[in-house]
Amino acid sequence: MEHDFWHKKWSDGKIGFHQKEINPYLQSYWQRMGLKGDEKVFVPLCGKSRDMLWLREQGHEVLGVELNATACEAFFSENDAEPVMVESGNFTSHSIDGIDVLCGDFFNLTQEDLLGVTAVYDRAALIALPLEMRAKYVDHLQKILSTTAKILLITLEFDEQSGPPFSVSADEVEALFGKQFEIKCLDRVQPDDPRDAGRHEVTWLLQGKRG
Ligand SMILES: C[S@@+](CC[C@H](N)C(=O)[O-])C[C@H]1O[C@@H](n2cnc3c(N)ncnc32)[C@H](O)[C@@H]1O
């Protein structure tokens, strides 16, 4: 998926993926990560997700990465915050107390950028990418992440016409993460709305095998 695709989504305001409310699966299942509460949490492809505010409220330090500058700026302005902005290498960091959003390409992140990160929250990141990019995304994530990290991952399964979002099956989650992570399915929900027939929202807990 090319960068221009996402920049156009943001400039056209076609951001149906953005949730005004905090994600219900995050709220229900974050405690299953078994964290103390002060860990640093990485939020890949974060958009302007308010879930980052919820994670900070739990005591975490949050590190997001987002390609689109408007999205990065909107996250702070819509939440009445004025970030300190610092350009460094491939990224412009936007930070306030407890939250740092790096504006730039996820694939340019290095291990150094993720130093101290012990948990990841992936909502609408993996499923935003087409098949071949999903493998590259997981490969890169595993390269830059501590081997002991845990991931809360939310996927969708449905009869896919064209994405994003893309349907990601349990078999694919296993194929992508199974070598390095213990995988537990925490929940598999079929939404009530008849228009969502055949659709499932799935929450996964991934624990680094060397953790
Ligand atoms: C489907 S949206 C999900 C956003 C957010 N996770 C949420 O729950 O609202 C995917 C986001 O990833 C961003 N994105 C796409 N490719 C990226 C990349 N290579 N690096 C960083 N961000 C990227 C897009 O601009 C978009 O905001």
Ligand 1 midpoint to CA 48 (Å): 9
3-state DSSP assignment of residue 29: helix
Residue 69: inside a domain, yes or no? no
Is residue 211 pLDDT above 60, yes or no? Answer: no
The CATH number given to whatever domain includes residue 203 is 3.40.50.150
- Average the pLDDT over 161-182 and give the result: 95
Residue 96: inside a domain, yes or no? no
Tally of domains within the chain: 1
Segment (H or E) for 89: none
* Digit-coded pLDDT (tens) for 94-110: 999 999 999 999 999 99
Residue whose C-alpha is closest to residue 30's, from 208, 210, 147, 186: 186
Ligand 1 midpoint to CA 47 (Å): 5
Residue 130: inside a domain, yes or no? yes
How far, in Å, CA of 131 to CA of 127, rounded? 9
Residue 3: inside a domain, yes or no? no
Ligand 1 midpoint to CA 122 (Å): 10
Residue 170: inside a domain, yes or no? yes
* Digit-coded pLDDT (tens) for 128-144: 999 999 999 999 999 99
pLDDT at 191: 86
Using CB distances shorter than 6 Å, the residues near ligand 1 are: 6, 17-18, 45-47, 49, 65-68, 71, 105-107, 123-125, 128, 164
Is residue 161 pLDDT above 90, yes or no? Answer: no
Contacts of 90 (CB under 8 A, 6+ apart): 104, 105, 108
Q: Residue 183: give the domain boundaries.
A: 23-61+109-208
Axis-axis angle for helices 131-144, 170-177 (nearest 10): 40
Residue 195: inside a domain, yes or no? yes
Ligand 1 midpoint to CA 125 (Å): 6
Residue 136: inside a domain, yes or no? yes
pLDDT at 129: 97
Is residue 170 pLDDT above 80, yes or no? Answer: yes
Residue 134: inside a domain, yes or no? yes
